[in-house]
Amino acid sequence: MKHDQDINCPLREDELVSKVKLTSRERRFIRFASVEYDGQLYMTPQDFLESFVDQEPRPKVKRRALTDKDLEAIKDATPTLNKGSTIMFRSLQNKGIISYTEYLFLLSILTKPQTGFRIAFNMFDTDGNERVDKNEFLVMEKIFSHAWKDKRGLPADDVKTNEVTSAAGGDTQITEEYVDDERGLQRRHLVDTTLTVHFFGPKGKNELRFEGFRRFMENLQTEVLELEFNEFSKGAPTISEMDFARILLRYTYLDTDAYDMYLDRLLDREEADKGISFEEFRVFCQFLNNLEDFTIAMRMYTLADHPISKDEFLRAVKICTGQNLSKHLVDTVFAIFDEDGDGQLSYREFIAIMKDRLHRGFKLNTKNEGWDSFRQCVKQEIKSPG
């Protein structure tokens, strides 16, 4: 792969598309990744934030080829775990690298409940000291990343897997599975990334405690939500109810008429512009990370699949997350999603749209946009057992 490829046409995608069918995650990573090293593409922390919040990457003329000196500077710029913060990615900007596997892992952190990570941590914490080493963590990272991977369309001959080996003393070795697809996405990389240095130190010898990892997850979630919230608040302590609705619907595949229908409902029903605070917004987004548990609760709670009231909605959220949504925020959600204004929520439609929002549109094929596609998504969610 040549250095300094044009970022708008990385690696001649039109020439290779017949050989390799890229998933939506792979395409997005390629479009936003602004640096490369030794034939592998990497995102910077700034690239990652933009990929999660923005629809399109900012215009870049060239993809920057990193040198060994650049990697040392990145390692030196990476803060230790105890100095992590809710502005770490924004502070690092382009002084860091994130691999494709780490990109998928970070997506999991931003869209999954913490309980799954706690269970995985405990599984690898064989001695019960709530610590994992670098190799153990890399295995856990691959497990969560795998949930986002989709190898459909890749030639079987291109998949290469090295055997798992177990060293004396019980050290876990990671299975190197990658696709030689000329994209620089899934091949083995031996460089120290920003995440591994942050978690395990410059020499990779530190151990990671779950409490430190939990703080990292919360900091990253808060950082991304602050970025999204501030885009609409413009420095104010609240965003309008209409902006809240726009944030919820912005990554869904609704056509213009359907999108406007939801906003018009809110406009007609909202009595006063009280505003939504960041804390209200944060708690609601945490609830979305527990959407699967909420779905189960709704099915158990309603039995006959009846629509739910505001009180029932609040109780179900409390059961799933342990936190309370504000009455005003629930009123706003019902104003958007209560189809006929009877104070009852058709939770299946709400869940279908929120799943699309949570996954930033990755659940759907981008070619099948519009209201018909949305209705098909709703039907699939209604039929789906989980």
Tell which wins on pLDDT, 230 or 144: 230
pLDDT of residue 161: 35
Name the most confidently modeled range: 48-62, 96-110, 118-132, 302-316.
Answer: 96-110
**What's the rounded mean pLDDT across residues 302-328?**
83
Q: What is the pLDDT of residue 188?
A: 58
Task: Kindly tell me if the per-residue pLDDT of 34 is higher than 70.
Answer: yes
**What proportion of the chain, given as a percentage, has pLDDT over 90?**
37
pLDDT score for 379: 45
Higher pLDDT among residues 16 and 44, named by residue: 44
State the residue for tokens 């044009």: 6
Taking residues 245-271, report their average pLDDT.
86
Instruction: State yes or no: pLDDT of 368 exceeds 60.
Output: no
Check residue 278 and give its pLDDT: 96
Q: Taking the CA of residue 90 as centre, how many other CA atoms within 13 Å lie in the half-sphere pointing to its CB?
A: 14
Task: Please give the mean pLDDT across all residues of the chain.
Answer: 77
Backbone angles phi, psi at 159, to 5 degrees: -85, 125
Cα 276 to Cα 238, 239, 284, 331, 335: the distances in Å are: 5, 5, 11, 11, 14
In angstroms, the CA 227 to CA 46 distance is 11
Segment among 50-64, 83-97, 144-158, 354-368 with least mean pLDDT: 144-158
Q: What is the mean pLDDT of residues 127-148?
A: 80
Confidence of residue 149 (pLDDT cuts 50, 70, 90): low
- Rounded Cα gap, residues 349 and 155, in angstroms: 37
Alpha carbon distance 264, 274 (integer Å): 18
The CATH number corresponding to 236-358 among 1.10.10, 1.10.1760, 3.40.1350, 1.10.238 equals 1.10.238
Q: Any bridge partners for residue 160, and if so which? A: 178
Query: Domain residue spans in the chain?
Result: 24-155+181-221, 236-358
On the question of pLDDT at 89 being above 70, the answer is: yes
- Coil, helix or strand for 176? coil
Residue 4: is its pLDDT beyond 70?
no
Give buried/exposed letters for 135-174 (b at 16+ CB in 10 A, else e): bbbbbbbbebbeebbeeeebeeeeeeeeeeeeeeeeebeb
C-beta separation of 316 from 297 below 8 A:
yes
Interval 181-190: pLDDT, tens: 445 565 555 7
- C-alpha pair distances (Å), 95 with each of 25, 79, 88: 23, 11, 11
Share of the chain above pLDDT 70, in %: 75
Stated pTM of the model: 0.77
Whose tokens are 């958007």? That residue is: 336
